[in-house]
Amino acid sequence: MGHMPAFLADLALLLVVAGITTLLCKKINQPVVIGYIVAGVLIGPVIDFLPSITDTSNITIWADIGVIFLMFSLGLEFSLHKLAKVGSTAITAAAIALIGMLSVGILIGGALGWSMMNRIFLGGMLAMSSTTIIIKTFDDMHLRGKKWTESVFAVLVIEDVVAVFMMIILSTISVSQNIAGGELVMSIAKLLFYLALWLILGIFLLPTFLKKVKNLMNDETLLVVSLGICFGMVWLADALGFSTALGAFLAGSILAGTIHAERVEHLVKPCKDLFGAVFFVSVGIIINPAMLIEYIGPILLITLAVMIGRVLIITVGMLVAGQNLSDSVHSAMSLAQIGEFSFIIANLGLTLGVTGDFLYPIIVAVSVITTLTTPYFIKAADKGVALVTRLMPQKLLNAIERYGESKSRVKADGEHIWKEYLKGYFSTFLIYGVLILGIIELGISLLLPWLSGVIEPNIAKIATIAVIVLFVSPFLPPMLYFRNRYFTSLWLEKFANRLPLMALLVLRSAVTVILLVMPVLRLYNLPAAPVLLITLVLAYFISRSDWLIGQYLQIQARFMTNFNERHLHEMEIAKSAPSHAWLDEQLSVQEFVCDEDSKAINIPLYELGWGKNLHVTLLKILRNGKAVNIPDGSERLMVGDSFFIMADKRQLENFIKVAELRKWAQPVEGNMCTLREFIAERQGENATDQIFCMAVNLDKSLHNLIGKSIKDSGIKEMWNCMLVGLERDYYPIIYPNPNMLLKEKDLLWLLGGQSMASRLIKGNVIAAADEEPAVAEA
C-alpha cells in the first residue's frame, strides 16, 4: 500500500471539508468565506472527533501563496486610471473613515488594556471594509448603478490602496517597536521612491515587452509569463525589505493597464480561488472556540464599534465630501463590516510576532458577524435615513443641504486653475525626479562596483558619472523648462500669482541641479560651489540639445501610449467608427478683427511671436474678400482684417486676454467654435479659400519620413501644410514638438488649403476612409 506525503493528505482533507462547508453556505445563501473559516475550525487541532491537519507549516506556506494571489488579483482589478477617476469625494470620505476607525481601534484597545502594538493593528483592521462581501451583496440585491453604490466602490478603491501602504507602515513599526522617529519616515520615503520607480519603469517596459511577444502568447504562455512577473516582483519586494503582498499588488496593477489584463485575470482566477481558499481555511485552523468564549466581551464590543462606528464616521465623511444625507447613510451602512484585508493584516501581526494570539480569532469572529449583518444593514438604510431625519434638528438638515449644494456648485463651475497647474507640475516633478534619482542609485550601487572590478577605480568613477549623465540627459528638458497651459493663465490672471510661479520654477531647477551634482559629490571629495557652477552650465547646454529633446519626446510618447494602452485598445476595437474626439474637445477657433487702433498692424507675424510665446496658430486671414490660409511669419496684418486663431480652449482664452491687454485685436463675440465646426461651417462658400484637415497614415510608402524629426521631415514644404497633431497607437499628441521623431504607423493630421488637398490626392497618401474625419472634404 502506497504512502501519501503528509502535505498531500492535509491538502486533500482541507479541500474535501472546504468543499462541503462552502456548498452548505451557498445553500443557505451565505458568503463562501464563512464556509472556508468553518472548514478550518473543523480540521483544526481543537475538534477531536474529526481528522485533523498533521503539519500546519505546509498549509501556512500555501496560505502565504494565497495572500500573494489575492493581492495580485486585487492589483489586476485596480489601475491608476481607476484611482484618478474616484475624485475628491471618495478621497475625503475614505480619509475621514480611515483616521476615525484607526482612532476607534486604538481607543478600544487601550480601554481593554492591550499593548500599543495590539491597539495599532486593531485600528488598522477596523479601518478596512470587505470589497468581496460588498460586491457580492450589491449583485445579489441588484443595487449596482445607483449613485451611492458608485461612491461606495470609489471609497473601496482608496481603502485598498491605503491598506497596501498600511501593511508596510505596520511592518516598519513592528520591526522598530517605535512609532515615532526618523526610521519610520525614511522607510516610508524609501517605500514611496521604490513604488514610484517600479510603477514608472513597469509602465514603460512591461506593455512594450508584452506587445513585442504578443504573437507568441497563448493562454498557457500568458499565464506563465504573468505569474513570472508576479513572483518576480514578490522576490524583488522581499529583497528590498518590503512585504511580498506589496510586490504582488504592484505586479497586478501594472498588468491592469495592458490589453492583456482581463485575459490574465480570467486565467489566474482558478489559482486565486484555490490558494485563496487555503488562506481562508488557514484562518479557521488557528481559531480556538474556547478562546472565543473567553474573549466574548471584546468580540461584542469591537463588533458594536464596527457597526456603529463605521456607520457614523463614514456618514460624516460622506457629508463633509458634499454628498446628501440619504446617499451618505446608504453608503455608510453598506460599509459596516470588516473582511479579507483585516485577515491579512492580522496574519501579518501574527507572523511578525508583535500581536497577541487572541487578536486573530477575535477579528475573524467580528468579521463573520459583520459579514452576516451586511445585507440587513443595507436593507435597513431607508429606515436609517428616516430615523436620522426625524432626530436631527431642521436647522442642521438645512445646513447640510446648503453645504452639499455649495460643494456641487464649486465642482460644476470652478475650474481651479491653480489646482490643475500644480497637478501637472508635481506629476512631472515626481515622474522625472524619481527616474533621475533611480538612474543615479542604480549607477552608484550596481554599475560602479562592477566597473571597479574590471578597470582602475578612478576611471570607473568617471565612467559611472558619464553613464549617469548620458541616461539622465533626456529627462532634463521637462525638469528645467516644463510649463503647462495653465502657467500663462495664472501669470496673466493677476500679478500676485507671478512670485509663487517663479518660486516653483526655481525650486524644480534647483532640485534638478542638486540631483545632477549628487553623484559627483558622492564619489569625489570636491568643493560644492565649483561643481554646482559647472553642473549649471552643463545642464543648460544638455537641455537645449534638439537630439536629446527628440529622445525625451520618444520616451514620453511611449510612456503615455503604454499608460493608456487598455483604453486605446478599446478604441481600436471600435475602429470602424473612430471619433477623433480631440478635434472637438481640445482644439478651438476664435475670430478676431483688426481696427485702426490695433497695435499688431503692419508688424511681421514672427515678430509678434504668437506661436512661440502663446502657443496658438493663426489659421486664416480674411482681407477684402480674399483668404490667406496658414500665413507664414513674414505676413502682416492690415486694418480691417479678420483673422482666426486656433489653440486649445485654455490657451485661446490666454490669447484673448493678452490681445485685449496689448490692443492687438478685438475678439468677435460668440464666435468661438471647434476646429471641426470651423472647417465644416465657418469658412464661406469659395472652395479655393477653404482650409482642409486631412489624415495621412505614415506607412512604408513614406519611409523617407520615418525616423526623422518633424522639423527635418520636410512635411510643410512637401505638402504645403501644417502638422496640427498626430495619433500614435491611437493616442493623440496635439501640437507635437518639432523635435519629435516620426514613427511608422503614426497618423498625421494636416491642415492646409486647396494646394495641400491636391498634393495629398495626387500622392495617394490620404488615410483610409475609416480613419478619415468628417472635416476632410477632399
User: Within a 10 A sphere around the Cβ of 536, how many other Cβ atoms?
Assistant: 14
Q: What is the pLDDT of residue 157?
A: 76
Residue 642 CB contacts under 8 Å (≥ 6 apart), including other chains: 591, 592, 593, 594, 621, 622, 668
Q: What is the pLDDT of residue 342?
A: 83
Q: What is the pLDDT of residue 757?
A: 76
User: CA dist 394 to 314, 322, 330, 400, 404, Å?
Assistant: 21, 18, 20, 10, 15
Q: What is the pLDDT of residue 178?
A: 52
Q: What is the pLDDT of residue 304?
A: 92
- The pairing of strands 722-728 and 747-752 is antiparallel
- The pairing of strands 626-629 and 747-752 is unpaired
Q: What is the pLDDT of residue 180?
A: 52
The Cα–Cα gap between 410 and 413 comes to: 5
Cell numbers 522639423 correspond to 711
Q: Take residue 132 and report the three cell numbers written for it.
A: 468581496
Coil/strand/helix, residue 546: helix
The Cα–Cα gap between 441 and 436 comes to: 9
User: CA dist 78 to 255, 261, 560, Å?
Assistant: 10, 10, 18
Q: What is the pLDDT of residue 771?
A: 43
Q: What is the pLDDT of residue 412?
A: 38
Q: What is the pLDDT of residue 301?
A: 92
What DSSP string describes 550-602? HHHHHHHHHHHHHHTHHHHHHHHHTTTS---THHHHT-EEEEEE--TT-TTBT
Do 88 and 416 touch, CB atoms closer than 8 A?
no
Q: What is the pLDDT of residue 284?
A: 80
**Residue 406: exposed, middle, or buried by beta-carbon count in 10 A (0-12, 13-18, 19+)?**
exposed
Cell numbers 516582483 correspond to 233
Task: Walk along the chain (778 residues) in steps of 10 and give the mean pLDDT of each run.
Answer: 71 88 86 82 78 78 84 77 66 86 90 88 86 73 76 79 76 61 64 72 79 83 90 83 78 82 87 85 79 86 91 89 84 85 80 81 85 84 87 84 68 56 79 82 84 85 86 78 68 77 84 82 78 75 70 71 68 52 73 88 88 82 84 88 86 84 84 79 62 81 83 83 80 79 84 79 60 38
Q: What is the pLDDT of residue 662?
A: 84
Q: What is the pLDDT of residue 776?
A: 38
β-partners of residue 110 are: none
Q: Take residue 235 and report the three cell numbers written for it.
A: 522576490
The Cα–Cα gap between 442 and 439 comes to: 5
HSE on the CB side for 107, CA within 13 Å?
Answer: 10
What backbone phi and psi angles, to 5 degrees, belong to 743? -120, 155
Q: What is the pLDDT of residue 482?
A: 61
User: CA dist 202 to 550, 563, 726, Å?
Assistant: 22, 10, 25
For the whole prediction, is pTM greater than 0.75? no
- Residue 116 parent element (H or E): helix 116-126
